[in-house]
Amino acid sequence: MPYSLPKLELYRDIRLLLPWPSARSVVILLASLFIAYFLNLYRYFRLAVLSINDFPGGRTVFSVELILNRFFGSIPGVLLSADYSWTERYDPYEKARWDIHSTIAAWPRGSTSLWLADADAIKEVTSSRVRFPKPVDMYAVLKVFGPNIVGSEFDEWKKFRRITAPAFSERNNKYVWDATVRVMMNVFENSWGWRDEITVDHATELTLPIALSVLAVAGFGSPIDFIEEKDEAPLRPGHDMSFKQALHIVAKDIWIKLVLPEWAYGLYPRFRRMRKAFAEVELYMREMIYERRTLGKTEDRFDLFGLLLDGNDNPGVDENVTLTDDELLGNLFIFLLGGHEASAHTLCFTFAALALYQEEQEILYQQILKVLPSDKTPSYEDMHSLTQSMAVFNETLRMFSPVNVIPKYSAEDTILTASSANGDQMQIPVPKGTKLFIHTPGLHYNPRYWPEPETFKPGRFLGDWPRDAFMAYSAGSRGCMGRKFFETEGVAVLTLIVKYYKITVKDEPQFASETFGERKARIFNARNILTLTPNRVPLSFSRRR
């Protein structure tokens, strides 16, 4: 019978033959790797600091761009919060004593950013698309339905702009105005019933449906009764939601689509509803494309969707420049995104500012009466005379720009010139790959361009004003194509509301003893989500006599 070692002795002898590390050796090895990794991070961090000549600014462990920032507030030396661009406004530049400041993070490795609140430097960046292109990878999440003008650059961007820009025409602007007036009269007559007093716990309860209705009519050619469409109305064959329901959910919950991975959509009823709504909106839009192409053109249609489709199907000189259906859907989605949330939140902030600054509301009201006496309904031709309405809208956009940061990057080693309040200048080396953030709150609250920037003063937009220091619509060739759509809708809504109703902050007993400063801080409280979003704006609308 052959001899065999007991299992225990066999295991012991194999251990003696093989170079198994001890627990102490493992700990030493891991500690060495850990130290080496962090020494390497520190090395790249120091190189990043030296690469911009240690230009003043923030130094942190983690980059401001990480998703981690959405779950924590700012921690000095460690992390800048997701709301940093809004809450700090001009403060970092005041501390740096220049209208550019830097942020450098150890992780990701040597992440270097320059923040710009200097109008001249910003103009140089927006005018030099080759030196300072758009980081399209940051916009990949916006390609929900397909490639689009926001998430593209260079030749692809030129193609999209060539097809989409003509849709934003004077014909569409007039259509937007007329649609907005009809939507607002529908609100007054049917939703409000011309009641003497209307109160809302949050003004977005009013502005979101208005923006959605204007978008549905002027953007997609839906009927004016869209706003009154009942959820129990018969559904279109093949659909589980009405277009209104699906559009509302997409507009409200788009941040879920952009933030969460696809596998997470099934984890929660709201997420599943959002996923279904996106599928419904896509199906509706594909059906609209098919129907408008196959049924033919029975009338002049000046909605954005119709004009875009006509321009794409009849490209004129260059027949090779057309969009696929996915590219059409991708661009329509971007217009939906900008035409709903940004419009609604800007109107909300506008009403909030007028409620706080009653004297400015009275100035606006008196000018509206001069342009629109008695019961005259405003026409598109009146818009150029409503200068105070436009000034109020612009001042709101200065104080509450929907997009706080416009990202660029340096495609080559270059330099930028920073200015200070006392007129000094300094050249900053900008290494290739450096991120550049055009910081709209920093620019819009810069006292060099806007005296008393924290005060709501629409009069600053009458006469001459520093146009290079106003970036609510970006600038240069990448300026917002929907600017006129946005302005036309905003001026029409604002004019009609103030013509018929006085706006005040809703009386609430718990805030009876607050000062004006406390009330202003409460009403203007906001946070960055997808766009700058008001937290809560409780208002009252009193019928004027």
Residues 6 or more apart whose CB falls under 8 angstroms from that of 116 comprise 99, 100, 122, 125, 416, 436, 437, 438, 439, 442, 443
The answer to whether 531 and 403 have CB atoms below 8 angstroms apart is yes
Positions in the chain short of pLDDT 50:
1, 5
d(CA 368, CA 43): 62
The model's pTM is 0.91
Which pairing describes strands 111-116 and 197-200: parallel, antiparallel, or unpaired? unpaired
d(CA 112, CA 409): 10
pLDDT at residue 333, rounded to an integer: 82
pLDDT at residue 5, rounded to an integer: 47
pLDDT at residue 232, rounded to an integer: 56
DSSP 8-state secondary structure symbol assigned to residue 187: I
d(CA 255, CA 233): 28
Query: What is the maximum span of the chain, computed from C-alpha positions, in angstroms?
Result: 118
pLDDT at residue 391, rounded to an integer: 98
Both structure tokens of 206: 């009013």
pLDDT at residue 71, rounded to an integer: 75
Identify residue 147 by its one-letter amino acid code: P
Q: Is 480 annotated as a binding residue?
A: yes
d(CA 532, CA 343): 11
In terms of CATH architecture, what is 148-402+472-543? Orthogonal Bundle (1.10)
Percentages helix, strand, coil for the chain (3-state, rounded to 5) are: 55, 10, 35
CATH 1.10.630.10 in the chain: give the residue spans. Answer: 148-402+472-543
pLDDT at residue 212, rounded to an integer: 86
Which pairing describes strands 111-116 and 435-439: parallel, antiparallel, or unpaired? parallel
d(CA 302, CA 290): 18
Both structure tokens of 53: 């000549």
d(CA 110, CA 41): 7
The answer to whether 86 and 405 have CB atoms below 8 angstroms apart is no
- DSSP assignment of 345-378 equals HHHHHHHHHHHH-HHHHHHHHHHHHHHS-TTPPP
Residues 6 or more apart whose CB falls under 8 angstroms from that of 211 comprise 339, 340, 341, 343, 344, 347, 489
